[in-house]
Amino acid sequence: MKKLTKALLLVLVIVMVASFMAACTPKTEPAPAATSTTPPPAATPAETTTTAPAIKWDPTMGPPPSFDPTSEVYTMDNRVPWQGIYEPPETSRANLVKAISALNKKDDVTVGYVTWTVGTPFFASQADTIKAMCEQYGWTYLSAVSDADVNKQIANIETFVTRGVDIIIDCAFSSDAEALAINNAAKAGVPVIGLGLPFPAGTQTITNMATMFYEHGFADGMYVADKFDGVHIKGAFIPGQIGHPIGESKLNGFIGGFIYQRAILMGKPFPTIEAAMMYGYNLEQQITKNAKFTDPDFDWEIVGSIDGMWSKDGGQKAAEDILTAHPDINFMFTDNDQEAMGAILAMQQAGLNPGKDIQICCVGDGSIDALRMVQDGTIMCMTFSSPYTWAGSCIELAHKIFVDGFDATNLPSNVYLSTILIDKDSVAKWIPTDGSEYPTQPMPDFIPLSS
């Protein structure tokens, strides 16, 4: 019955969205499609398909109905831009040493929190949440900040192992680089819960509490494709940092989602979701190499991409440089709230009207200021993960293990927070009314894999 209800709801949502989009396409005069200066990406839409599917897939509804496990998406060596994607179901992890048993009850718990930064409001809120929940449970809280120095991050993990904490929460800066330190911690008898970036397969975490960076971008991309249906896009990107998994995964997801939905709207959908993802990846790789691309097949061009380093000042400076060279863009994607706010300042100083002259979307933090900008139309849409829920889920899992006796020996590698997209119509329910800086979202379920 639940599956039938979800299916009916999905059909209704699609009908409503289709009607809404017809009335709300941005009032931007289409520009002539530019001539491509780079070879077209290898993956192409299905040429024999002339009508769009009746029901499209949306990452905010959960995993796609099917996977193509043979796709290069899941096997390519370059995993940097693929963090936080739905993947084929995982098999058992029961054989991995994680320094916990089926019954790990303990009265006094010492938590060691390792993070690469508390230098933004979002990351500061994560640390504050973990500390507050430890105090609530009467636990000892220790923290160590590496300031984006991966060697220091690893050393902090090792220090907490030496100090004999009961559990480490690792907000990773480089999950690949930190995997060995985590494995060594587990072998030394200290369990680890990840917070953030997925770790390489086989890493001996209890699990990793993760947000779906790629799928958040994908949902944004689909939304923007709907809003710009039939309109040429001359846009720009402000990723967090090209080369960093968070920055590239959000951007890669955005491009993939835009291409997936744009192809459906043009009546030539891709044969599989992964085919659209690979087409988008090839465009994303042009961004990493050239900071631009032209894609006449789907009538859009990105004329500039400058890292904003997830900060308001970085977003403003990047937007200023982009607008100086290309004052006629009609779209901008930013990596988070802070970059979006900086870009908005740059637009206003240039005499432009954000939300009208230039549409903005971001994979956001969900700060109350950004939510209000969505509410007034300054920001078109955003996806978000609550720092309260994200960090709090780590302590919630630790509490289940040490207090409730929960058997966490065979959890999946990643437990993901839900993907939530908000726009002007849906934002009101997410704006906190209790004075909080961020909204909360549903706590994820901890469901063991089959043995």
Q: How far is CA 140 from CA 9, 123, 155, in A?
A: 45, 20, 20
Rounded mean pLDDT, 51-70:
77
Whose structure tokens read 């290898």? 42
Give yes or no for a contact between 436 and 368, defined as CB atoms under 8 angstroms apart.
Answer: yes
Whether 447 is in a domain gets the answer: no
> Residue 136, SS3?
helix
> Residue 300, SS3?
strand
pLDDT in tens, 283-298: 999 999 999 999 999 9
Amino acid at 68: D
Considering 360, 384, 408, which residue would you say is the last residue of a domain? Answer: 384
Give yes or no for a contact between 235 and 301, defined as CB atoms under 8 angstroms apart.
Answer: yes
413-445 burial string, b = 16+ CB within 10 Å, else e? bbbbbbbbbbbbeebeebebeeeebbbbbeebe
Measured between its terminal Cα atoms, the distance across the chain in Å is: 27
277 and 312 together in one domain = yes
370 and 230 together in one domain = yes
With left for phi above 0 and alpha for psi between -120 and 50, is residue 231 left, alpha or beta? beta
Domains identified in the chain, total number:
2
Whether 19 is in a domain gets the answer: no
pLDDT in tens, 220-270: 999 999 999 999 999 999 999 999 999 999 999 999 999 999 999 999 999
What tokens appear for 197 in the block? 């970036």
369 and 222 together in one domain = yes
Q: Estimate the share of the chain in helix, then strand, then coil, as percent rounded to the nearest 5.
A: 40, 15, 45
224 and 333 together in one domain = yes
What tokens appear for 264 in the block? 């459906």
Check which CATH number belongs to the domain holding 139 and give it. 3.40.50.2300
The phi, psi pair for 391, rounded to 5°, reads -70, -40
Whether 79 is in a domain gets the answer: yes
pLDDT in tens, 319-346: 999 999 999 999 999 999 999 999 999 9
The helix (run of H) or strand (run of E) holding residue 115 is strand 110-115
What tokens appear for 85 in the block? 């994607």
371 and 395 together in one domain = no
220 and 327 together in one domain = yes
User: What is the spatial distance between Cα 284 and Cα 236, in angstroms, rounded to a whole number?
Assistant: 12
Rounded mean pLDDT, 414-430:
95
The pLDDT of residue 389 is above 90: yes
Q: Count CB neighbours of 382 within 10 A.
A: 31
What's the confidence (pLDDT) of residue 16? 35
81 and 55 together in one domain = yes
Residues 6 or more apart from 184 whose CB is under 8 A from it? 158, 161
What's the confidence (pLDDT) of residue 31? 35
64-82 burial string, b = 16+ CB within 10 Å, else e? eeebbeebebeeeeebbbb
227 and 284 together in one domain = yes
| 143 CA to centre of own chain | 25
Rounded mean pLDDT, 125-153:
97
pLDDT in tens, 165-193: 999 999 999 999 999 999 999 999 999 99
Give yes or no for a contact between 411 and 446, defined as CB atoms under 8 angstroms apart.
Answer: yes
Whether 8 is in a domain gets the answer: no
69 and 200 together in one domain = no
248 and 367 together in one domain = yes
Beta strands (DSSP E) in 320-449 are 331-334, 359-364, 381-384, 414-416, 420-423
Q: Look at the chain and count its residues.
A: 451
> Residue 260, SS3?
helix
Percent of the chain exceeding pLDDT 70 equals 88
Q: What is the pTM of this model?
A: 0.83
User: What is the spatial distance between Cα 114 and Cα 178, in angstroms, rounded to a whole number?
Assistant: 11
Whose structure tokens read 């710009």? 228
Whether 167 is in a domain gets the answer: yes
pLDDT in tens, 88-111: 888 899 999 999 987 888 889 999
226 and 366 together in one domain = yes
Whether 249 is in a domain gets the answer: yes
Whether 380 is in a domain gets the answer: yes
User: Sign (positive/negative) of CA torsion 69, 72, 78, 80?
Assistant: negative
Whether 188 is in a domain gets the answer: yes
Considering 337, 364, 384, which residue would you say is the last residue of a domain? Answer: 384
304 and 396 together in one domain = no
Among 21-25, 113-117, 287-291, 338-342, the range scoring the smallest mean pLDDT is 21-25
Give the residue numbers spanning the domain of 327: 34-88+213-384
